[in-house]
Chains A and B, each alone.
Chain A
Amino acid sequence: MKLNKIILSFVSALVILFSTSVASFAKVVGDKIILGAAISLTGKYSSNGVHTQNGYNMAVDRINSMGGVKVGGKTYKFDIIYYDDESNPKRAAQLAERLISQDGVEFMLGPYSSGLTKAIAPVTEKYGVPMVEANGASRSLFTKGYKYLFAVLAPANLYLDVAIETAVELNGGKPVRIAQAFEQDAFSQDVRLGILDAAERTGSKIIIDDKLPKELNDMAATLVKVKQMKPDVLVVSGHTKGALTAIRQIAEMKVDVPMLAMTHCDAAKLSKQHGKNSQYALCASQWHKSLTYKDDFFKDGMTYAADFEKEFGYDPPYQSAESSAALLVFKDAFERANSFDQKKVRDALAATNMQTFYGNIKFAPGGQNVDKPMVLFQVMCDASGKCENKVVAPLKWASAKLIHPIPKWSER
């Protein structure tokens, strides 16, 4: 009996402790605005999860040190509660629920990847919690009529259609023949839809349309078809695995194609892992440090990249840059709303129209950013074998001229 009493009092003490600590967490406490985020710190998305977290942290530190957020004549500082979602959508949804209903968070930042954002969005929507996300590009996120979801990045279907348009332009305005291979996941299939749209718009023909399995490690069959049918453009999207496999096998099989367009080149560290074999590959990117967008906090891309490198020891991938931009968007919305009322902040977010170092940000009714085009860079190597990504399209930001057609393997 005595033991039972001891256990009972211990448990109730714990409950009391927890309930007070929960209360002290809530949304805006003292001079702190507390945001919540479930991020993949372990599991298969952990590298990009860490890029996302670093981006968030960098922006929080910068905004706080430069005067914070001014609402109702008072200055507030950002703070973020992180949970590890283990790269698991179910876990992410649970954590979103916990952040909102237990920790009392009233504003959320997005997780990494379209799949996890898709898992969290219904939860934030249910509770009317505004979420600014920076790493979910799938088109299906923006067609569900979500009112509280805002994405600073361009949707997945716009990733590579610039490449098709560029190819048509270089072909003297005449339609081109396209070969494409996409992994069977939400993101890559959205990229594919974008290519289908672009093909229809330009009258181009798709002559190979392969779907790559998730456990992809061999695309030799697709490449043999490419060798035989000689398309004008080859488009590949299958995350980092797809990019690495494609470059390895294209080089090994000496596949000659005038234009090769892909996604996830910088996440795959293509130029580092493959060196000269990756030369001439065109890659879609949300952001590149050489772009000339400006803001008051990070100045421009080059300064951001330098500061980021100083803090974290590596060149920022676009996943970090867009995550930092999400915080800038929140700050701007809080100040315009001049309130912490979720509805008012949501309306202020919807009316966002600003420039950040990452790009212009303006949300469509679906929540996607419509004011920031994708950029294409090309991997270019010098004689010593050192490779660099140079922006080649759109022309406004091009720092190098597109090399087209890609020289044949026999001439390299």
Chain B
Amino acid sequence: MDFLVFQYPMITLQACLDGILLGVLFALIAYGMALQWGVMNIINIAQGDLVILGGYIAYFMYLYGIHPAWGVIVAPVIMYFVGIAIYKLVINKVVDRDLFISILATFGISILFMQLMNFAFGADVVLANSGYGTTMLFDNNVVLPNSKIFSAFISIVFAICLVIYMKKSKLGRAIRATAQNARAAKILGVDTEKVYAATFGINAALCGVAGALISITFTIHPYMGLPYTIRSFMIVIVAGLGNLPGVAMSGMGLGVFEEFADYILGTEFRIGSVFLLLVLILVYRRFKLSRKREYLK
């Protein structure tokens, strides 16, 4: 146990800011997962692998002399079509089946993607340099890499655009209708097949954006997808489905929680503490639910 983090207010501030910037990025990935979980009832294990694939798109742009930040625009466009293709090839066959089948199917896709990326791009750890520099605050005591600020900013922009799109556009309304009741939507003339494909595409596009941002701020590697899947899964579990502000809050909250756990317990307990939190939240939820049931009786 180490309480250095509370003794110096600057470190506390640094930990909070690092956590929030990280959390916003995770929230973007989690939002895609929540969307498709809510609409299609599919838990996508390949979420993290889609993120990494998006990262490679930005990385290759960087290799060919294009600034990787443009990946934020290019990656989602390519990934949207990748998403549609995955839907047409695999997901449409499992979308009405039970959750277990879809988990197996996306797990398979995840393994396939990992191996294909390894085969195509090699097993080296790579990154794209943005050359964005650093912001120093409070007499150089708080340091924020501009690449992280950029990532958080872009994530927020994309999240806001998506919320507006879901509210205002025809497809957005169709998606929301399908999420509420697929059968009723179908009766009222919504082409649910199209809605599903679009939802999967939008999710893949969001992963593409996040991946491009991750290649700028962290590192990418064909086998690094799973931690992103797990984190977004946790964020969605904590926030609940179809709860966008909840996803954003729980993303940032988890980010900050992770940073503090890192300082207090040590880096080795960082991920473990997040899992512990997940268990606690699930137990609490169950407890609350059972009380509600008693009340209903």
| A218→B134 contact, CB < 8 A | no
B218 at the binding interface (Cβ < 8 Å): yes
**A42-50, A75-83, A99-107 - the one binding chain B:** A42-50
Q: How far is the CB of B108 from chain A (nearest CB, A)?
A: 17
Q: How far is the CB of B16 from chain A (nearest CB, A)?
A: 12
> B211-245 vs A: 1/0 string, CB under 8 Å?
00010001101111011000000000000000000
Known: A46-B123, A213-B270, A253-B134. A241 touches B221 (CB 8 A): yes
| A42→B124 contact, CB < 8 A | no
**B125-133, B153-161, B202-210 - the one binding chain A:** B125-133
Across the interface, B145 reaches (CB within 8 A) one of A210, A245, A253, namely A253
Q: How far is the CB of A214 from chain B (nearest CB, A)?
A: 9
| A213→B226 contact, CB < 8 A | no
| A181→B134 contact, CB < 8 A | no
Across the interface, A44 reaches (CB within 8 A) one of B119, B136, B219, B222, namely B222
Q: Mark out the residues of chain A between 187 and 220 whose CB falls within 8 Å of any chain B CB in the assembled complex.
A: 210-213, 215, 217-220
How far apart sit A349 and B222, CA to CA, in the bound complex (Å)? 39
- Note all chain B residues with C-beta closer than 8 A to A44: 118, 123, 221-223
Across the interface, B267 reaches (CB within 8 A) one of A213, A241, A269, A273, namely A213
- Note all chain B residues with C-beta closer than 8 A to A241: 125, 219, 221
**B66-74, B258-266, B287-295 - the one binding chain A:** B258-266
| A211→B267 contact, CB < 8 A | yes
Interface centre among B8, B14, B119 (most CB of A within 10 A): B14
Q: How far is the CB of A175 from chain B (nearest CB, A)?
A: 22
Count of residues in A whose CB is under 8 Å from the partner chain: 40
A406 at the binding interface (Cβ < 8 Å): no
Nearest opposing residue in chain A for B11, CB measure: A224
| B18→A42 contact, CB < 8 A | no
Count of residues in B whose CB is under 8 Å from the partner chain: 40
B248 at the binding interface (Cβ < 8 Å): no
Across the interface, B266 reaches (CB within 8 A) one of A211, A249, A269, namely A211
- Note all chain A residues with C-beta closer than 8 A to B262: 221
| B118→A227 contact, CB < 8 A | no
Nearest opposing residue in chain A for B262, CB measure: A221
How far apart sit A224 and B260, CA to CA, in the bound complex (Å)? 12
Across the interface, A224 reaches (CB within 8 A) one of B14, B123, B125, B126, namely B14
- Note all chain B residues with C-beta closer than 8 A to A211: 266-268
| A248→B124 contact, CB < 8 A | no
Across the interface, A273 reaches (CB within 8 A) one of B127, B221, B266, namely B127
| B267→A212 contact, CB < 8 A | yes
| B125→A210 contact, CB < 8 A | no
A90 at the binding interface (Cβ < 8 Å): no
- Note all chain A residues with C-beta closer than 8 A to B11: 224, 228
Nearest opposing residue in chain B for A264, CB measure: B125
How far apart sit A241 and B8, CA to CA, in the bound complex (Å)? 30
| A184→B22 contact, CB < 8 A | no
How far apart sit A211 and B18, CA to CA, in the bound complex (Å)? 19
| B134→A254 contact, CB < 8 A | yes
- Note all chain B residues with C-beta closer than 8 A to A181: 267
B147 at the binding interface (Cβ < 8 Å): yes
Q: How far is the CB of A351 from chain B (nearest CB, A)?
A: 38
| A252→B145 contact, CB < 8 A | yes
Q: How far is the CB of A225 from chain B (nearest CB, A)?
A: 7
- Note all chain B residues with C-beta closer than 8 A to A275: 129
A283 at the binding interface (Cβ < 8 Å): no
Q: Mark out the residues of chain A between 333 and 386 whose CB falls within 8 Å of any chain B CB in the assembled complex.
A: none
| A240→B125 contact, CB < 8 A | yes
Across the interface, A215 reaches (CB within 8 A) one of B18, B124, B226, B266, namely B226
B85 at the binding interface (Cβ < 8 Å): no
> B1-45 vs A: 1/0 string, CB under 8 Å?
000100010010011001000100000000000000000000000
| A248→B127 contact, CB < 8 A | yes
> B129-173 vs A: 1/0 string, CB under 8 Å?
100001010001001010100000000000000000000000000
B92 at the binding interface (Cβ < 8 Å): no
A118 at the binding interface (Cβ < 8 Å): no
Known: A211-B268, A219-B267, A228-B4. A268 touches B125 (CB 8 A): yes
- Note all chain B residues with C-beta closer than 8 A to A42: 115, 118-119
Nearest opposing residue in chain B for A87, CB measure: B123
Interface centre among A220, A241, A244, A269 (most CB of B within 10 A): A220
A222 at the binding interface (Cβ < 8 Å): yes
Nearest opposing residue in chain A for B268, CB measure: A211
Q: How far is the CB of B290 from chain A (nearest CB, A)?
A: 35
- Note all chain A residues with C-beta closer than 8 A to B145: 249, 252-253
The chain A residues found within 8 Å of chain B, CB to CB, are 42-48, 87, 181, 184, 210-213, 215, 217-222, 224-225, 227-228, 239-241, 244-245, 248-249, 252-254, 268-269, 273-275
Given A47-B122, A215-B224, 15 other A-B contacts at CB below 8 A? A42-B118, A43-B118, A43-B123, A210-B268, A213-B267, A213-B270, A213-B271, A218-B22, A221-B259, A222-B267, A227-B143, A228-B4, A244-B125, A253-B134, A273-B127
